[in-house]
Structure 1
Amino acid sequence: MSQAKTGDVVRVHYTGKLEDGTKFDSSEGREPLQFQVGGGQIIPGLEKQVEGMEVGEKSTVTVPAEEAYGPRDERQVQTVPRDALPADLDLRIGASLQATTQDGRQIPLTVVEVDDMQVTVDANHPLAGHDLVFDVELVEIVGTEPGPAFG
C-alpha cells in the first residue's frame, strides 16, 4: 500500500466535530474531498494527519485551534451604528454579511447582536478558537500534481 505524501492529490471522506460532539461538516453523502497534500488547501492540522496515511486507513484526530482556524480574536468583533448600514440588509442574529476593506478585500461577517441603534458583527471564522475533531478516511491517492518546470 502506498502512503500519502507531500505533492500527492488525495481524496478523503471526513466528518468534522467540535469537542462536544457537535458535527459541523461532513463529506457523508457527497463525493470525497480532493486536495493536494502540502498545497495549503485545507486546514494545516488535518493536512498533517493525512500525510503518511495509507489508502483505506481511517483515523480520528483532534486539531488544535492554532492548526485549524486560529484563536478567537475579540478585536474582530465590532459594533456599528445601525443607520450606517443599508436599510435592506438582513440583520437577524446569525445572518452573514460581507464588508469590503479599503484595499478591496472581502471580509465575511456574522451578525451577533442587534438593537434599534446598533449592530454588532463578528469577523472571526465561526470555528475560530475551537479545537476540532475529524474522523478521516483516505479513499484514494489520485496522483501527483506536476511541480513547476525548471529549465
Structure 2
Amino acid sequence: MTPIESHQVVGFHYVLRDERHRVLDDSFKRAKPLYYLHGHANIMTALEHEIDGRTPGETFEITIDPANAYGERNEALMQSVNRAAFGNAELAPGMRFEANGPDGARTVTVVDIDENAVTVDANHPLAGRTLNYYVELLDQREATRAELAKGHPLDPSVQPSEVEDKKL
C-alpha cells in the first residue's frame, strides 16, 4: 500500500471520546466509516496531519486539545434573545436552531428559557473540550476530477468511472 497523501479519498472508522473518556461518537456502531478528501480541509487539521503518510490497515490514537479541535469556549457567544423571536415554538434546553448573525448562519443551542428570554449558546457543542480519537484506517483511492472540483468525496454509490464521464 502507498502512503496516504493529498487528493486521495480516505475511509476510516473512529471512536471519539471526551476528556473523561465518555464516547461521543462511534462510527463502528453505525457500521458506516467516514470518507473524506485528504488535503482539502474536510476533517480537523490535527487529525488529518496524523493520518498523512500512514497506510490503510493502521490504527492509532490521538488526543487533540481544544485549540486544535473546535476552539476554546467563548462566553461572548452566549446571548439572551427575546422569547418572541422563537414564535410559538416549544422550546427545551439542548434544542438547536440555525440563526443568522453578522458572520452568516450559525447553529445555536438553547441553554435556558424563561417567560421573556431564551439564552442561546453559539459555541460549537465540543468547544473547550479535549478530544480523544481511536482511528482505524480502512482504504484509500485517488480522487476523481469531479471530487477534486467539489472538494469532497462524492456519493459512494456512484462509480468513479461514471463520475469522470459527467461534465464538471
Is the pair's TM-score, using the shorter chain for normalization, greater than 0.5? Answer: yes
Q: Which residue of 1 aligns with 2:10?
A: 10
Higher helix share: 2
Alignment: residue pair count: 146
Equivalents in 2 of 1:102, 1:61: separation in Å?
Answer: 35
Higher strand share: 1
Equivalents in 2 of 1:85, 1:60: separation in Å?
Answer: 42
Pair 1:19–1:145, CA change in 2 (3 A): farther
Per-residue deviation, 1:19:
1.3
Please say if 1:59 is aligned against 2:60. Answer: yes
Per-residue deviation, 1:7:
2.1
**Secondary structure of 1:61 counterpart:** strand
Q: Does the CA contact (< 8 Å) of 1:45 and 1:64 recur in 2? A: no
Equivalents in 2 of 1:67, 1:44: separation in Å?
Answer: 7
**Secondary structure of 1:45 counterpart:** helix
Per-residue deviation, 1:33:
0.7
Per-residue deviation, 1:38:
1.2
Q: C-alpha offsets along residues 67-115 of structure 1, whole Å, 9 cap, x if unaligned?
A: 211111111100122234312x232011111212367x32111000111
Equivalents in 2 of 1:98, 1:81: separation in Å?
Answer: 16
Give me the identity figure in percent.
Answer: 34
Give the partner amino acid of 1:46: L
Equivalents in 2 of 1:121, 1:144: separation in Å?
Answer: 40
> What is the TM-score when the length of structure 2 is the normalising length?
0.79
> What is the TM-score when the length of structure 1 is the normalising length?
0.88
Equivalents in 2 of 1:10, 1:31: separation in Å?
Answer: 13
Structure 2 residues not aligned, in runs of 5+: 150-168
Pair 1:84–1:55, CA change in 2 (3 A): closer
Equivalents in 2 of 1:4, 1:64: separation in Å?
Answer: 24
Q: Which residue of 2 aligns with 1:50?
A: 51
Pair 1:115–1:4, CA change in 2 (3 A): same
Give the partner amino acid of 2:120: V
Q: C-alpha offsets along residues 29-48 of structure 1, whole Å, 9 cap, x if unaligned?
A: 32211111111011111111
Q: Does the CA contact (< 8 Å) of 1:55 and 1:139 recur in 2? A: yes
Q: Which residue of 2 aligns with 1:143?
A: 142
Give the partner amino acid of 2:133: F
Per-residue deviation, 1:145:
4.5
Q: Which residue of 1 aligns with 2:156?
A: none
